Chains A and B, each alone.
Chain A
Amino acid sequence: MSAIAVTARPQTPLWRRLLGFNVLTGIVLAVGGYILGHFIGDHIHGSNLNYYSAQAGQNDIAIFLGYLLGVVGFLVGLGFANYPLRRMLGHPPTLAEKESEAHGTLRYFSLSTDHKVVAMQYLVGIGFFFFVGGLNAMLIRTELLQPNTHVFGANQYLTLVGMHGTMMMGMMTSSILGPFANWLLPLMLGTRRMAFPRVEALTFWLLMAAGVVLITTVFWGGFQTGWTGYQPLGGQGTAGFDAYIGFFILVGISMCFLGFNLLATAITMRGPGMTWSRLPIFIWGVLTTAILMLLASPMLAAALMMAAMDRTVQTTFFDPGYGGSSYLWQNLFWVFGHPEVYIVALPGFGIVLELLPVFTRKPLWGYRIAVAGMLGVAFLSWFVWQHHLFMSGINADLRPFYMLSTELISIPTGFIFLAAMGTLWRGRIRFTIPMWFCIAWAFNFLIGGISGVFLSDVPSDVLTHGSFFSMAHFHYTIMGGLVFTFFAAIYYWVPRMTGFKFNELLSKIHFWSLFIAFNATFGPLFAVGWLGQPRRVVTYPAFLQGLNIWVSISAYVLGLSMLVFLVNVVWSQLFKREPAEANPWHSKSIEFQLPTPVPVHDFDRLPAFDPDPYPYGEPVQVPAYAGGGGPAIASGGGEA
């Protein structure tokens, strides 16, 4: 895993190096914390509370306290408490986490404030949970092979559906911002670190803790609500729903912190010459996403805490019989949930527009309109959430407004397409693997966007709402939009990050099988929805079995395609290990001009930037940025 040459490894035995603040200690303290929390919860006395938990045979308070202390223990074990405590005791500020563990593989398993290490941690950690979520999808499709014979029980099926959705929406939200924004932002902005390096590390470890919390749901019987966690159904759930709440609260905190860290970095730490109109378009995608993350995730955390209080201390926020409302959860959840789907889409826009100039050898076409598109999407995403409640009977007279606001979003989204299409025009298009993924993004997102018309327009939404049609639609936008650009980013930047290139043949097999299987899987689901199969059902009419079998088989091919990717990663990054060229794509962006490996401190001298972010199409010598012994100040465009 370690791409950076090992220098001066301390000659202490392995067991000695394992003692200390690292993930092992974290796990030990997490288990201890959980047991302590559960113990305290079991001994909290209160006649009413005890009455219900005794009747139900479960103690939600103990589980929540267990999760809380478990996570605290995990973070303490990783060493997150050291720095604040030392500062409180009067010690001077340090970046000890970055410097002392700067070498060896162990730093990937402990608290590191090097943004490049955190990025690799994110990539592997999120990748792991991506595969867990994907495995759930395979099992869902296995169950749906037959209309009314069950491979798994109805409980377990719903838990699979819930875990798949929750894992993907919670984890994959950070799948581009976590690895790629963390790795690229300081480099692209010309600085040596993020604004809050320890917070950066914290967001990652919180996310890992969250993933484990969600998996523990299987020990408490799972949860039956899907990723939307609708109340009061969630309130009825067994203790498995506590895991859902715990997971999403941790994800919400992680997202919020990630958002403000990226935002603060981009606002305050731009190098000389890096004006707002010079920012690479990827950074604009990151920025707009970060704004949404920062503002939306507290809403999620608040709603979840209300649900947790309903379950533990007998409040009735969502119980209509006692003055609550089932609409309340739907509103709170979707005020978070709709910006969330743009949180997932916007980084993809950034990646596609960042990569297209490189592979068409042209400047980005319509930089300003692309930025306006991203800002417009981010802004409008706050005004559309009630289209999830079109059939619910709340504010029925406002439906034309939400119809308008929802469809207005296609205008700024159209700007992104316009910029992409303009960049292709008369370019010298080079078909590399990342380029193919960008092209696939355009195709998928186009279908996703157009199918959205049938959901956003109320008259046709009556037929499609809550059916497999809407499921196919959001897989086209989220999987087609996020996962494809995620892979584009992996094939484009990871060789730069690790220093080893991917196997070309396996990469090609991965792309084509993924693209074909993806469309073969989700395309027919539009028809399945139109023909009357609602989402999240464990049975369906027998006449839909043919289509469902087709979809399941395609889904298996999709899964196999992901395994090809996994083999590719393991083979080319761990075993074959062909050193990557410094700049295989002939990119003119700064991250490809730095020495290999990128030093821990990134730059010897901080760079100053050229006014043009995309100096393609002109005979510009790429400026040699600091670090490689070249001039510290980038030469101006066209002068060389």
Chain B
Amino acid sequence: MKEVNHFRRFLLWYLATTIPLTLIVVLVLAPGMPPGNGTVQASAVVADNTVFLGVASVIFMAVLVYFVYSLIAFRERNPSVVTEGPAIRGHPQIQLWWIVVTMGIVLFLTAYGTIRLLEGGSGGGQGPNPIAVPSPPAGTKPLQVQVIAQQWQFTYRYPAYGGVETPSIEIPTNTLVEFHVTSLDVIHSFWAYQLNVKADANPGVDNIAYAQTKGPLFFNVRCSELCGLWHGYMFNSGRVVPRAQFASWIALQQRQFGAARRSLPPYTRQYFPTPLRRG
């Protein structure tokens, strides 16, 4: 009786299922993934997720098809009798290839991630001395926005506009925004979803993250690190608006919070307010 070539069968099944699936994932599914294309960083994460989803579907299907194939092809057809299988104890070459292939995948993922990270920080918090600084669009200057997290609200300070502090946020279009995230009490995390910015707010720490805006955009801000009772309610929303609109908005804030501005501490990168400790 002719021996069935299980490996070739498995390979055919694998290719037949994985190639279409991966194409669908990479070409159809992934490009429409959240958080959209509102900023350069958001587009970047969509691109990265496309790559990772492609790799993931190739690996996932390899193992899945193998398991399904084995469970069907090698099932015991007569379970009432115990029949021993072949005593195969290993295969050095397969083991070696497995190590080489998985090592290759791992190194690719790490190298890809590192390169993408160093290109512009990917929107993540980089601490007080960032090395992955994206270059601003030609002819513009980066805009500094300080995000002050406190239990349980974010407030925002604009050092370029007299250090005015407001409870709402707007930023101009086509601008590199430099978020300086800090906290006045416990650990929070500033997650501006559609901008694809996430940076933890640690007390006494200046954590810098970048977002390069494109066109007008509405975005949600949520706290994504458990910070106590009202953690679930610690959200607000902001807008990316054209420069002229931003200028009038910031002027309004300066008028409205001008009096409050005078009682604020001078703008610094981190604050140690009193009473920090016991009442």
Contact = CB atoms under 8 A, between A and B. Distances in A.
A428 B81 CA distance: 11
Contacts of A561: none
A404 B106 CA distance: 8
Given A391-B200, A399-B117, A537 B231 contact: yes
A466 B158 CA distance: 27
A55 B48 contact: no
Contacts, number: 303
B275 to A, nearest CB: 9
A170 B250 CA distance: 50
B24 interface: no
Interface string A594-630: 0000000000000000000000111100000000000
B200 A393 contact: yes
A394 B231 CA distance: 23
A428 B76 contact: yes
Interface in A409-467: 410-411, 414-415, 417-418, 421-422, 424-431, 439, 442-443, 446-447, 450, 453-454, 457-463, 465-467
A403 interface: yes
Contacts of A236: 186, 228
Contacts of B59: 450
A463 B45 contact: yes
Interface stretch (B15-23, B83-91, B240-248): B83-91
A428 B131 contact: no
Contact of A396 (B131, B181, B220): B131
Contacts of A154: 229-230, 232-233
Contacts of A447: 60
A421 B67 contact: yes
Contacts of A450: 56, 59-60
Interface stretch (B107-115, B134-142, B161-169, B254-262): B107-115
A534 B124 contact: no
A224 B223 CA distance: 15
A534 B223 contact: yes
Nearest to A458: B117
A395 B48 CA distance: 23
B63 A446 contact: yes
A539 interface: yes
Interface stretch (A109-117, A314-322, A501-509): A314-322
Contact of B277 (A230, A321, A540): A321
A393 B125 CA distance: 5
Contacts of A400: 110, 113-114, 117-118
B156 interface: no
B contact residues, range: 35 or more
Given A394-B127, A460-B52, A411 B122 contact: no
B193 interface: yes
Give the interface centre of B85, B125, B227 by most chain A CB atoms within 10 Å: B85
B185 interface: yes
B186 A232 contact: yes
Contacts of A446: 60, 63-64
B71 interface: yes
B103 to A, nearest CB: 6
A365 B109 contact: no
Q: Is the interface of B mostly helix, strand, loop or mixed?
A: mixed
Contact of A393 (B103, B207, B225): B207
A363 interface: yes
A536 interface: yes
A226 B226 contact: yes
Contacts of A155: 229
Nearest to B60: A450
A463 B35 contact: yes
Contacts of B185: 232
Given A225-B226, A422-B91, A539 B85 contact: no
B235 to A, nearest CB: 8
A391 B204 contact: no
Contacts of A473: none
Contacts of A319: 276-277
A69 B48 CA distance: 55
Given A230-B186, A396-B125, A410-B106, A619 B84 contact: yes
Give the interface centre of A158, A362, A418, A462 by most chain B CB atoms within 10 Å: A462
Interface stretch (A1-9, A198-206, A366-374, A474-482): A366-374
Contacts of B52: 453-454, 457, 460
B127 A396 contact: yes
B60 A320 contact: no
Give the interface centre of A55, A392, A532, A618 by most chain B CB atoms within 10 Å: A392
Given A322-B277, A326-B202, A457-B52, A403 B226 contact: no
Nearest to B225: A466
A139 interface: no
A477 to B, nearest CB: 15
Given A422-B90, A439-B67, A467-B224, A361 B85 contact: yes
A247 B87 CA distance: 48
B208 interface: yes
B186 to A, nearest CB: 4
A365 B89 contact: yes
A538 interface: yes
B217 to A, nearest CB: 14
A616 B199 contact: no
Interface in B160-194: 181, 185-187, 189, 191, 193
B145 to A, nearest CB: 16
Contacts of A426: 6, 74, 85-86, 88
Contact of A459 (B44, B197, B220): B44
B85 A534 contact: no
Given A395-B127, A428-B83, A443-B67, A321 B113 contact: no
A369 B106 contact: no
A233 B226 contact: yes
B25 interface: no
A390 interface: yes
Contact of B106 (A407, A465, A532): A407
A392 B224 contact: no
A83 B139 CA distance: 81
Interface in A353-412: 360-369, 389-397, 399-400, 403-404, 407-408, 410-411
Contact of A52 (B89, B128, B278): B278
Contact of A430 (B63, B76, B99, B230): B76
Nearest to A233: B186
Contacts of A17: none
Contact of A367 (B90, B117, B122, B227): B90
A421 B66 CA distance: 8
Give the interface centre of A158, A391, A392, A446 by most chain B CB atoms within 10 Å: A391
A530 interface: yes
A466 B198 contact: yes
A86 interface: no
A616 B87 contact: yes
A427 B73 CA distance: 9
Interface in B30-88: 33-35, 41, 44-45, 48-49, 52, 55-56, 59-60, 63-64, 66-67, 70-71, 74-76, 79, 82-88
B212 interface: no
B114 A617 contact: no
Contacts of A369: 90, 95
A535 interface: yes
30 contacts: A158-B228, A224-B228, A225-B226, A232-B203, A233-B186, A321-B272, A361-B84, A363-B87, A393-B207, A393-B208, A394-B205, A403-B114, A407-B110, A408-B106, A421-B70, A422-B91, A424-B71, A424-B74, A429-B74, A429-B75, A446-B63, A453-B55, A454-B49, A458-B117, A459-B113, A460-B52, A463-B35, A466-B191, A536-B232, A617-B88
Q: Which 10 A-B pairs have CB atoms at the shortest separation, nearest pair first?
A: A321-B276, A393-B207, A617-B87, A538-B232, A320-B204, A393-B127, A537-B232, A534-B224, A457-B113, A466-B224
Given A391-B198, A400-B114, A617-B88, 6 more contacts: A226-B226, A230-B186, A393-B207, A453-B55, A466-B189, A534-B223
